[in-house]
A and B are shown apart, each in its own frame.
Chain A
Amino acid sequence: TQLLEQSPQFLSIQEGENLTVYCNSSSVFSSLQWYRQEPGEGPVLLVTVVTGGEVKKLKRLTFQFGDARKDSSLHITAAQPGDTGLYLCAGSYGGSQGNLIFGKGTKLSVKP
C-alpha cells in the first residue's frame, strides 16, 4: 500500500508554463517535505511544511500543506529547464517514527 500518492507521475511542459503537482494521503503527518532529485544525485530538500494550511514560497515555487495535514501541492510559476527533475514528497509521523515515508515522485521535464 502506497501511503503517499503523487500525481501526475510524469509531466512534460514548455518553458514559461505553470504547473501544479500533488501529494495525497489518507494519513495525517506531523510534517511534510518536498525534495527535488536530479539524475545521478540524491534528493535535495526544498521545503518542510508543518502547520495545516501553511503556504511557503521559494522564488517561483509555492508549497501548500492541506488543512488536515494529509495532502500537499507544489505550484511552479513560469517553469524553466533548470526545474527539470524528480519531485518527491515525504511525510513524517514525527517522534519515535521519525523516518520519512516517500511518494514515488513526479518526473518533470521542462523543454526550452
Chain B
Amino acid sequence: KAGVTQTPRYLIKTRGQQVTLSCSPISGHRSVSWYQQTPGQGLQFLFEYFSETQRNKGNFPGRFSGRQFSNSRSEMNVSTLELGDSALYLCASSVGQHQETQYFGPGTRLLVL
C-alpha cells in the first residue's frame, strides 16, 4: 500500500504570494490532518478534515485554509505569505475520524523570501 504523498516536496515563494500544497492520503483513509513544523515551535496542528468537512482547527490566522475532496485528497492554501510561514508542512492520514494512529507524509518544505 502506498504511503501518504505530498506535492510539491520543495517550494520557494516571495512575501505576499499565495501557495497551495497537496496531500494524498493512504488508500482507504478518510481523515487528513495538516501540521506546520518549525525549529522554534516544533509541530503545530493546523486543521483536520474528515469526509470533506473540517473537524478541528488549530490556532492559525485565516490566511491558512484547507479543503478535502470526495476522494479524501486534501489541499491547504496559504495566502499573503509572510517570512514566518517558512516551514515544513506535514500531512497525516488516518482511517477514520478522531483516529489516533496517524501516518505522516514526507512534507513540503516551503521557503518564503
Chain A residues near B (Cβ < 8 Å) = 31, 33, 35, 40-45, 48, 88, 90, 92, 94-105
Number of interface residues of B (CB under 8 A): 25
The verdict on A98 contacting B97 (CB below 8 Å), with A43-B90, A105-B42 known, is yes
Contact yes or no, B45 A101, CB < 8 A: yes
User: Which listed residue, B99, B100, B104, touches A44 by the CB 8 Å rule?
Assistant: B104
CB of B78 within 8 Å of the partner chain:
no
A94-B98, A95-B98, A96-B98 known; A42 and B44 CB under 8 Å? no
Can you list 28 A-B contacts (CB < 8 A)? A40-B106, A42-B4, A42-B92, A42-B105, A42-B106, A42-B107, A43-B43, A45-B103, A88-B42, A88-B43, A96-B56, A98-B55, A98-B98, A98-B99, A99-B33, A99-B45, A99-B48, A99-B56, A99-B58, A100-B102, A101-B45, A102-B42, A102-B43, A102-B44, A102-B45, A104-B41, A104-B42, A105-B42
| Residue numbers in B under 8 Å from A94 (CB-CB) | 98, 100
A33 CB contacts on chain B under 8 angstroms: 100
CB nearest to B35 among chain A residues: A102
CB distance from B3 to the nearest CB of A (A): 9
B residues whose Cβ falls under 8 Å from a Cβ of A: 4, 33, 35, 41-45, 48, 55-56, 58, 90, 92, 97-107
For B100, the closest partner residue in chain A by CB is A92
Bound form: Cα–Cα A43–B104 in Å: 6
In the complex, are the beta carbons of A48 and B100 less than 8 A apart? yes
Task: Point out the residues of chain B lying under 8 angstroms from A90, CB to CB.
Answer: 43
Question: In the docked arrangement, what's the CA distance between A102 and B38, Å?
Answer: 12
A90 to B104, CA, bound (A): 13
Residue numbers in A under 8 Å from B4 (CB-CB): 42
- Residues of chain A with a CB closer than 8 A to B56's CB: 96-99
Q: Report, nearest first, the 5 A-B pairs whose CB atoms are least far apart.
A: A42-B104, A98-B98, A104-B42, A102-B43, A99-B45
For B100, the chain A residues whose CB sits under 8 A away are 31, 33, 48, 92, 94, 98, 100
A50 to B106, CA, bound (A): 27
